[in-house]
Amino acid sequence: MTIYLSDAGKRFNRDWIFRHFTYTFEAGQSYAITGSNGSGKSTLLQSLSGGMMLSAGRIEYKGTYDRWQGDSSNVKSGNGQLTADNIYTQVSICAPYLEVVEEMTLREFLDFHHGFKPFLASITTDTIIAALGLEKAENKQIRYYSSGMKQRVKLAQCIFSDTAIVLLDEPCTNLDADGIALYHRLIAEYCKDRLVVVSSNDEVEYSYCKKKIDIIDYK
């Protein structure tokens, strides 16, 4: 899956967050979007996800993802056009401002999530719980988890979803050293052939990214 941005821009009222952004995000590559706090990194990431409409320019999504197991046959076969209206089938995102269903246990939440966004091939709820190291807490409501445990769950629902595009906004928020190591293992093992975009100003979160974009260059 490849994302093409052509003279793209986003503004709120009269303030441009980014503008004149022309760039190609290619399948199988990893990108870091960097910049100071409040510079617009998250806004760009949300624009890539299709969750936020551009104020100027165009965004196009092209390509197929053969592992897709959902019922969007036009996406799997490439017979239909991917747009901001249906790209959600091919996007998973992890961000501090996104919430999990805290009234559910971990097992309930993963089963629920799997119902509308399938897991990667050969991945099951048991696989994910073991990978996260949360076997002892799988039947505890997520609201009783620590902030670091909740962040592991957010990473899991993003990385283990069968999508072509993985968007990560400050993915190591609240993680300790073991959690950061887990994050890098999951990226290395499950994101090799996917488009990965990381929004961060902390190099530990994007050290594996091959390409770096400074949002300040597009003000």
Cα–Cα distance, 201 to 198 (Å, whole number) = 10
Our CA angle for 46, 47, 49, nearest 5°, is 65
The topology under which CATH files domain 2-218 is Rossmann fold (3.40.50)
Q: What's the mean pLDDT in 7-30?
A: 96
Task: Read off the pTM.
Answer: 0.90
In this predicted model, what pLDDT tens digit does every residue of 22-61 receive, in sequence order? 999 999 999 999 999 999 999 999 999 999 999 999 999 9
**Which stretch of 60-64, 74-78, 166-170, 181-185 has the lowest confidence by average pLDDT?**
74-78
**Which stretch of 65-79, 106-120, 122-136, 167-181 has the lowest confidence by average pLDDT?**
65-79
Instruction: Output the six-digit token pair for 54.
Output: 């551009």
**Which stretch of 32-41, 80-89, 94-103, 206-215 has the lowest confidence by average pLDDT?**
80-89
Instruction: Output the six-digit token pair for 75.
Output: 């996406």
Domain boundaries in the chain? 2-218
Q: Containing H/E element for 91?
A: strand 91-94
Instruction: Output the six-digit token pair for 57.
Output: 């320019």
In this predicted model, what pLDDT tens digit does every residue of 123-156 receive, in sequence order? 999 999 999 999 999 999 999 999 999 999 999 9
Instruction: Output the six-digit token pair for 19.
Output: 């503008």
- Tallying the residues shown for the chain, one arrives at 219
* Residue 80's pLDDT band (cuts 50, 70, 90): low
Mean pLDDT, all residues of the chain: 91
| pLDDT higher than 50, residue 119 | yes
Pairing of strands 15-25, 2-12: antiparallel
Handedness of CA 19, 24, 26, 30 (dihedral sign): negative
Report the DSSP beta bridge partners of residue 161.
119
Q: What is the largest CA-CA distance in the chain?
A: 51
CA proximity to 42, closest of 163, 135, 158, 51: 51
- The percent of residues in the chain predicted with pLDDT above 70, rounded, is 91
Q: What's the mean pLDDT in 7-12?
A: 96
